[in-house]
A and B are shown apart, each in its own frame.
Chain A
């Protein structure tokens, strides 16, 4: 492994693969905060040049956290298909990049290769990709997953309906749910981030979601995004009907400990979902990630945030999730400084997720102390659809009143579908047509009228009398 190069007349010598990986990253404020970023633009390119010559085998042999010390590393390494790994292990990262982009390399071949890739390889090739490369490469790969419906089918594009509320008020939440469905959101999942994350409260919300879903016969899945143990308690103790089990995950054991989870705990959660969950499956897990979370809990082991993020996907795929998404701009400017860094990170995460073989979505978002605005996030969302992203978020006019950040609005998924000629998940698409909210993949004038759900409610009540 050569760690030395000359570039533009300067010699650069890196001490370790870890340093090469960190410095080969596109600029991120989080890597600077960790004091591992390239000193300047030239050093960044020098590191990329060195990385291009590193083989996939060398990357496998240098995981970000040693196998013995870290459960995430063990899960990633033990999950590999050794036969497939051997087919690619002698490629350099530069060659691997070209192989992915090559016209002869189909999406299916990439998906097969994916089974022999560790997260460090995924991160490394990502660092050598331009933004359009990330879109071009990711677009080839098709990852589908099935819970009650199947997400990721070619020609489809989905949205999570995120009806968060400042106090979990049941009526307030349902008002958001109704408006979201009326605008065609929610085919990926109806999923709420609760304020009150007690099992009882989680159960209450899950029950109200399930009731609504059944009453209106909506072909989708439901979830309340509490800690895995809380959701398990909600299911076991309060008979909560849950289609998906959620958890935030990190790219190292220490990072997961900061979230209060272990691999075994997720396994247990998935087992419970198989036995007592309400979904047909087989994919019953939902994970969220985001660059920088390991650094914020001092669990990055000196590695860059991109590599740690790739390891989230390597860890996630072990549990065959239905959904994984990066909450890309939530963490703040100390990790992703501005719109340029957020857009880059969103494309990176999406590419890496797909290359790892998980059903990938993105919460394209920003906080108000970041130098970004809604235009930037709409740009990112459009680029993600071009890259074949499975889903984005849907929040009332993009403003999440509970998490106090801005994401993509209920209207965005619908607009992007129309622009790119995509449709929601087929069963959901048919449901929208049945309800009169869409026709031939376009919103009708009725779309956005949440009171449709209340009108009917009245009528049925009176019929029953």
Chain B
């Protein structure tokens, strides 16, 4: 059994808009005569778009029409029809995410990109995708080291820290190549927050003033210092706190970072520095040089990122989708389901039927924000529920609680980590019968605060694609 699906990644960033198509191969890795175990075995990028400047209508608005045109043109150039695209993600990143019509753009694009292309935004997710697109998770695993990826874009620098391949933290600061723009010898734009902080640091800069290379160089070196501080390589100064995007959190102090990969547009122009540092009408080239020459950053073990300017878009196309376990129960007519908030039953509440029920019912009530119920995904690890008897006990609680607390027209969606979903699904069906639709998946670890997208079944109905959108990364 070998099946391939096409996945798309679209990144609308501060400065650039890009797209990739990749082919994900799924294979049954269980032996013949065994219960199937379908996994994604290969991810091959089959098409990379040109890199476009993100079209804007004004400083505050993205030009939706033009973005759509770019995407349509690229689908055509790749010879791919949106109907063929089975999964993927549109992500809006950096400063662009702060534009007033960002949500509208995302919605419009994910709709036109394919049936199960999810919309995603948020600095934490962006950091993770860039890190995975840069291959930092793999590098960290292979070298058994704590390696951070710093994706330096136009508006933000996204950091994702991996320890032995495992994600241990993300962070995002407002350091980017397009936070100051220059044209024809004049400073044409300064990101207001940066302007304020720079002034406080004795580096006052105004829009309209003539370009002073020395001053811009000092600002870039200062921004590179902020990166070193964010990685805990340099003692923090008082302005540093102000750099965190949307008041976000710094990376955890542990593990101590050993290695670094650099991705993003700025990293892209570090390898071959153009002669004119202002050829992009911004400070990207200078910032790249400042990062390269920063003492603390260059003290880390340098690893080459698999992708630089395309890291985020590759992450969006290749690394957002996972497949569920291969023995699941689901009513496929309900799928796809998008943006399901996750109701997590923590390990400590699974000890007895009573505590399980209490946790479930209290939380179900919370998922009625306006008095109206949202379709939620009940998530639990499933350890200790392997035997037939324990599965029955779990099914009893789930069936009873959903009857009492879940509005009639909502399906019961349950995701577990352990391989028990088919047995649990059948047990639920015996209890709930025709009264309620049931979707029961395993192999999925989703935590409180996550959102889930569940696609239509693949591999002859054995698995479903799942995207877990981690909006807040809990360290």
Contact = CB atoms under 8 A, between A and B. Distances in A.
Asked whether any CB of A lies within 8 Å of a CB of B in the complex, the reply is: yes
Interface of A: 166-167, 169, 195-196, 200, 458, 465
Contacts of A169: 29
B475 interface: no
A196 B33 CA distance: 11
Contact of A166 (B2, B31, B302, B304): B31
Nearest to A165: B31
Nearest to A166: B31
Interface string B304-344: 10000000000000000000000000000000000000000
Contacts of A167: 29-31, 37
A195 B32 CA distance: 8
Contacts of B29: 167, 169
Contacts of B31: 166-167, 195-196
Main secondary structure of the interface of A (DSSP, over half): loop
Contacts of B2: 200
Contacts of B304: 465
Nearest to B29: A167
Contacts of B30: 167
Nearest to B30: A167
A200 B27 CA distance: 12
A169 B27 CA distance: 12
Nearest to A454: B142
A166 B34 CA distance: 11
14 contacts: A166-B31, A167-B29, A167-B30, A167-B31, A167-B37, A169-B29, A195-B31, A195-B32, A196-B31, A196-B32, A200-B2, A458-B143, A465-B302, A465-B304
B196 to A, nearest CB: 41
Interface string B274-311: 00000000000000000000000000001010000000
Nearest to A198: B2
A195 B27 CA distance: 14
A195 B304 CA distance: 36
B63 to A, nearest CB: 42
Contacts of B37: 167
A195 B28 CA distance: 12
A126 B49 CA distance: 72
A196 B30 CA distance: 9
A50 B290 CA distance: 96
B43 to A, nearest CB: 15
Given A196-B31, A200-B2, 12 more contacts: A166-B31, A167-B29, A167-B30, A167-B31, A167-B37, A169-B29, A195-B31, A195-B32, A196-B32, A458-B143, A465-B302, A465-B304
B260 to A, nearest CB: 13
Contacts of A196: 31-32
A195 B31 CA distance: 6
Contacts of A166: 31
Which of B31, B32, B37, B304: most chain A Cβ within 10 A?
A: B31
A458 B145 CA distance: 13
Nearest to B143: A458
A187 B362 CA distance: 66
A169 B2 CA distance: 16
A36 B86 CA distance: 63
A268 to B, nearest CB: 27
B437 to A, nearest CB: 34
Interface in B20-47: 29-32, 37
B94 to A, nearest CB: 30
A200 B1 CA distance: 12
A196 B143 CA distance: 30
Interface string B354-374: 000000000000000000000
B140 to A, nearest CB: 14
B365 to A, nearest CB: 44
Contacts of B143: 458
Contacts of A458: 143
B305 to A, nearest CB: 13
A166 B2 CA distance: 18
A465 B143 CA distance: 14
Which of A166, A167, A458: most chain B Cβ within 10 A?
A: A167
A167 B27 CA distance: 12
Contacts of A200: 2
Nearest to B37: A167
Nearest to A168: B29
A176 to B, nearest CB: 17
Contacts of A465: 302, 304
Nearest to A195: B31
A200 B32 CA distance: 16
- Shortest 7 CB-CB contacts between residues of A and residues of B: A195-B31, A167-B29, A167-B31, A166-B31, A167-B30, A195-B32, A458-B143
A279 B362 CA distance: 69
A465 B31 CA distance: 39
A204 B415 CA distance: 34
A438 to B, nearest CB: 29
Nearest to A457: B142
Interface in B156-171: none
A166 B31 CA distance: 7
A200 B2 CA distance: 11
B36 to A, nearest CB: 12
Interface in B100-152: 143
A167 B28 CA distance: 10
A100 to B, nearest CB: 45
A196 B29 CA distance: 9
A139 to B, nearest CB: 41
B29 to A, nearest CB: 5
A202 to B, nearest CB: 14
Nearest to A402: B31
Nearest to A197: B32
A465 B32 CA distance: 42
A169 B41 CA distance: 11
A143 to B, nearest CB: 36
A167 B33 CA distance: 12
A369 B40 CA distance: 38
B368 to A, nearest CB: 45
A465 B259 CA distance: 14
Which of A196, A200, A458: most chain B Cβ within 10 A?
A: A196
A429 B424 CA distance: 57
B142 to A, nearest CB: 8
A273 to B, nearest CB: 27
A169 B143 CA distance: 20
A7 to B, nearest CB: 50
A167 B34 CA distance: 10
A387 B399 CA distance: 70
A200 B302 CA distance: 36
A50 to B, nearest CB: 47
A446 B31 CA distance: 35
Contacts of B302: 465
B474 to A, nearest CB: 30
Nearest to B31: A195
A465 B139 CA distance: 13
A196 B1 CA distance: 10
A458 B31 CA distance: 32
A169 B29 CA distance: 8
Nearest to A200: B2
A305 to B, nearest CB: 28
A208 to B, nearest CB: 14
A234 to B, nearest CB: 15
A238 to B, nearest CB: 13
A458 B144 CA distance: 11
Nearest to A170: B41
A296 to B, nearest CB: 19
B374 to A, nearest CB: 40
A465 B30 CA distance: 38
A193 to B, nearest CB: 12
A200 B25 CA distance: 13
